[in-house]
Amino acid sequence: MSTLPGRQPLPRRGDARPRRVSSISTKTGQFAYFDAQLGRPDWSGRRVLDFGGNVGTFLEEAAGRVQPSLYWCVDVSRTAIEEGRRRRPQAHWIFYDRYNPQFHPGGVPGLDPPALTPRFDYVLAYSVFTHTPDHETVELVRALRSLLADGGVLAFTFIAPNWAPRGEGQESNVRWRLNSRSLGSTSEPRPVPAHLDAAVEHAQEAPWCAVVDHTLLFDARAPIGPCGRYDVLWSPDHARSLFPTAEIRPPVAPERQHCCLLGPTD
Ligand SMILES: C[S@@+](CC[C@H](N)C(=O)[O-])C[C@H]1O[C@@H](n2cnc3c(N)ncnc32)[C@H](O)[C@@H]1O
């Protein structure tokens, strides 16, 4: 049995204050990712809800394969929604005023999702439930599945702590999350210090863990106050325990995130 506490502090570097990450996502590759995970569907005429879609990079990268008038984006970042609307006014941009510890700390805890009347062929969420506690994820997934048309698919990503890309010297996802942005380093990612190896190894085997600013958290039920970073990681078995009927697919290169696929109902 592990002797590690439920919360494992990590060393702070540089400025010790939690850094707030920009609300505008610069991530790319979302269209290619879901296109591959969904088996390269014919997107034409399909209605898509991009939940937590930020500025709509998915739509941009679809490059005409998804019609803007058939694309809806719901996000708790008002800034991202406004920017998405500025870029693609023909699409549907909906601000969701719900609390998220990292992305919308001023929001309303537990606010119901916006009422949307269309039914969607695809509801997608890239790296959204990697930033929400499990009870919220379960609740939101239930609500999103109810928005699916017959034959529709909900596809969302999660990050498995012990997964690593093939190839020598590739770091596990939990090290990647820790190295990349979570230790308060101001520029280049730096390796996690060796004395934290036990905590990292524990995280790699954990069903659930989270990087909360400078802390590695193992208790999924711990309440999370406003913070600069809240990254949730799940083992595939944990994903299956939350969503027993889901089809779970491994990451497609060059991405590191698994995909969970669900239909309208069980
Ligand atoms: C890591 S970003 C990913 C953004 C986008 N999917 C992409 O791939 O660029 C997470 C996004 O989820 C949004 N988000 C977090 N909690 C949310 C919630 N409960 N409902 C809707 N969006 C949420 C954030 O505002 C942010 O835009």
215-245 pLDDT, tens digit each = 889 999 999 999 999 999 999 999 999 999 9
Q: Return the ∠ at Cα 137 (arms to 85 and 128), rounded to 5°.
A: 40
- Going from the Cα of 76 to the center of ligand 1, the distance in angstroms, rounded, reads 7
- Going from the Cα of 59 to the center of ligand 1, the distance in angstroms, rounded, reads 15
- Going from the Cα of 80 to the center of ligand 1, the distance in angstroms, rounded, reads 9
Which pLDDT does position 196 carry in this prediction? Answer: 76
Distances (CA, A) of 206 to 173, 249, 255: 12, 19, 21
Q: Return the ∠ at Cα 185 (arms to 100 and 223), rounded to 5°.
A: 25
| Atom 22 in ligand 1: residue holding the nearest Cα | 52
Count how many residues are written for the chain. 266
Which pLDDT does position 1 carry in this prediction? Answer: 35
pLDDT band, residue 22 (cuts 50/70/90): low
pLDDT band, residue 213 (cuts 50/70/90): confident
What Rg value do the Cα atoms of the chain yield, rounded?
Answer: 18
Q: How large a percentage of the chain has pLDDT more than 90?
A: 77
Which pLDDT does position 183 carry in this prediction? Answer: 42
pLDDT band, residue 4 (cuts 50/70/90): very low
Mean pLDDT of 188-217: 81
Distances (CA, A) of 146 to 71, 143, 216, 265: 17, 5, 34, 8
- Enumerate residues lining ligand 1, CB below 6 A: 25, 27, 30, 51-54, 57, 74-77, 80, 96, 98, 100, 103, 126-128, 131-132
Taking a C-beta distance cutoff of 8 angstroms, is the pair 259, 145 a contact? no
Taking only the tens place, the pLDDT of each residue in 92-148 is 999 999 999 999 999 999 999 999 999 999 999 999 999 999 999 999 999 999 999
| Least trusted range by pLDDT, from 81-90, 149-158, 169-178, 227-236 | 169-178
Is residue 79 predicted with pLDDT exceeding 60? Answer: yes
Peptide bond into 254 cis (omega under 30): yes
- Please name every residue paired with 233 in a beta bridge, in sequence order, or none if there are none: 209
Mean pLDDT of 46-69: 98
Q: Return the ∠ at Cα 211 (arms to 207 and 214), rounded to 5°.
A: 145
- Please name every residue paired with 249 in a beta bridge, in sequence order, or none if there are none: 259
| Atom 8 in ligand 1: residue holding the nearest Cα | 126
Which pLDDT does position 168 carry in this prediction? Answer: 85
Across the chain, mean pLDDT equals 89
DSSP E strands in the chain: the ranges are 7-9, 48-51, 71-75, 92-95, 120-125, 148-158, 208-212, 215-217, 230-234, 247-249, 258-262
Taking a C-beta distance cutoff of 8 angstroms, is the pair 227, 212 a contact? yes
According to DSSP, the β-strands at 71-75 and 48-51 are parallel
Q: Which amino acid is at 122?
A: Y
Question: Cα-flanking dihedrals φ and ψ of residue 234, to 5°?
Answer: -125, 140
Which pLDDT does position 199 carry in this prediction? Answer: 87
Which pLDDT does position 10 carry in this prediction? Answer: 55
Which pLDDT does position 131 carry in this prediction? Answer: 97
User: Which one of 75, 95, 112 would you pick to mutate in the ligand 1 pocket, going by the greatest count of ligand atoms within 8 A of its CB?
Assistant: 75
User: Which one of 58, 87, 103, 180 would you pick to mutate in the ligand 1 pocket, going by the greatest count of ligand atoms within 8 A of its CB?
Assistant: 103
- Going from the Cα of 75 to the center of ligand 1, the distance in angstroms, rounded, reads 6
Pull the structure tokens for residue 48: 């898509």
**Residues 225, 23: Cα–Cα separation, whole Å:** 18
| Atom 13 in ligand 1: residue holding the nearest Cα | 52
pLDDT band, residue 180 (cuts 50/70/90): low
pLDDT band, residue 187 (cuts 50/70/90): very low
